Amino acid sequence: MRIEERLAQFDRLTVLVAGDFMIDQYLSGTSTRISPEAPVPVVHIKRTFFRLGGAGNVARNLAALGAKLRVVLEVGDDANGAMLVGELAQLGADLTYARQTPQVHTSVKTRVLAQNQQLLRFDEENIRPVSSEWVEALRLQSDSLFAGVDMVLLSDYGKGALSPEMTAFLIGEAAKRGIGVTVDPKGTDYSKYAGATICTPNLKELTEAASAERLETEDAIYQAAETLCQQNNIEYMLTTRSEKGMSLQRRGAVQKQDFPVVSKEVIDVTGAGDTVIAAFTLCYGAGFPLELCCKLANAAASIVVSKTGAATATREEICAVLEGMGHERCKIRTADALSTVVGHLHEAGRRVVFTNGCFDLVHAGHISSFRQAKAFGDVLIVGVNSDDSIRRIKGPRRPIVGQQARLALLEALDMVDYLVLFDEDTPQTLIEQLCPDVMVKGKDWEDKSVAGGEFVRAHGGRVEFIELEQGLSTTQIIEQVLHAYGENA
């Protein structure tokens, strides 16, 4: 099964998310001088924006990957709490088990940025354990709470939402129903996560939970993870290790599995752990092999650390990264997905070639054109007119072959790397979105205005005109068939 088909399974999954939901506020601006009052930079704030933070950022990552959400949430009956609930609603989250209460103060983390570099963070929060009354209220609704849930994800930031009572309830009820539980842990006492399927500490958190000063050897990391698994009846310990990737320990296994980091420029590590657990949770819930779960989580993490702030990774971005690692790709893409792929290709220094057409009745002339086009670069993208587009251009009797069959035929050609369907009469909009390095047309277009040609040239690319096979055009072939067999053939 191709990686795109695997990731499409995320659409059917519902994840119950519980933990410390908060608001991340960003004050972004520029700094060009030091304050005369103290040796600190003066930041001229130009933009203020908000994002879901903590367990909310996990929810954002799950939604970006296509999963459905149900949240267990208790936040303040304040403006920030209302904003948080509103943001979750925009993600399509089921808010049946979310409540605002005056007894809770909504946590807000504020980051001050200058030239996209974080200078300062200050937190507004009131750490307190969730009330037993709220846990009991959820217990009385446990059947409906877990109905249709495929995985449970606990995002613990140590603010009190995941008290021992709450975690015991959620893990116990999930276990009764055969539902997997993933935990992003906090603190040194992992007994509160007893019975969980997977815990995902970073190396510092694993070291602290193991009561060690440091874990300097691979064997020490293995022993710490194995001990925590055995002591707390946790099936797996997935330890994230920054530049060394991640290590997976299965309880009782004689050695851990290591997964090297996916190389990418690191801009900001904020929220990377949220992305790892979100991706791993969905992969595990979809039944992927554990090795693939780790590789996908690694790829997702590499994407978000190359962005500023608590970012998310999309399925298209993950596919592009995995393709670069040698995984089988799907050639047929949407314009948006292909735009992401082209971005990664350009980052890797690959030359992208674009050509387009109707390709109704694929024939030897098309094959020759594709071979010539591919010779101008490294990757050939073929834009294909939709059925509606062809009818407008060629008339109501065309196309002879429908768009899905045409795409399937072109997908089988080795020289074609990607295919994208477009519904406009010309590929102008598509070309502007993809920004190829080379655009290829037949010699019959050499003295005509080529849609997208000026855009390509203006952006440093070029337009090439190739020789066409004489007597081989789709229209000519169709006319010959109709002449030979009659108009009603």
Residues in Cβ contact with 487 at an 8 Å cutoff, skipping those fewer than 6 apart: none
Angle at 27 (CA atoms; ends 314, 18), nearest 5 degrees: 50
* Strand ranges in 171-260 using DSSP code E only, listed in sequence order: 180-184, 198-199, 236-240, 246-250, 257-259
Contacts by residues 461-465 (CB-CB < 8 Å, ≥ 24 positions apart): 461/435, 461/436, 461/437, 462/437, 462/438, 463/438, 463/439, 464/373, 464/376, 464/438, 464/439, 464/440, 465/440, 465/441
Q: Report helix, strand and coil shares of the chain as percent, to nearest 5.
A: 40, 25, 35
Phi, psi (degrees; rounded to nearest 5) at 37: -85, -25
Question: Coil, helix or strand for 215?
Answer: coil
Question: Coil, helix or strand for 234?
Answer: coil
Give yes or no: 219 in active site. Answer: no
CA dihedral 168, 172, 178, 184 (to 10 degrees): 0
Residues in Cβ contact with 319 at an 8 Å cutoff, skipping those fewer than 6 apart: 3, 4, 7, 329, 330, 337, 341
Q: Which one from 274, 360, 417, 437 is the annotated catalytic residue?
A: 274
Q: Which residues of 151-189 are buried (b: 16+ CB within 10 A; e: fewer)?
A: bbbbbbbebbbbbebbbbbbbebbbeeebbbbbbbbeee
| Helices 55-64 and 272-285: angle between axes, nearest 10 degrees | 50
Where in the sequence numbering do the catalytic residues fall? 274
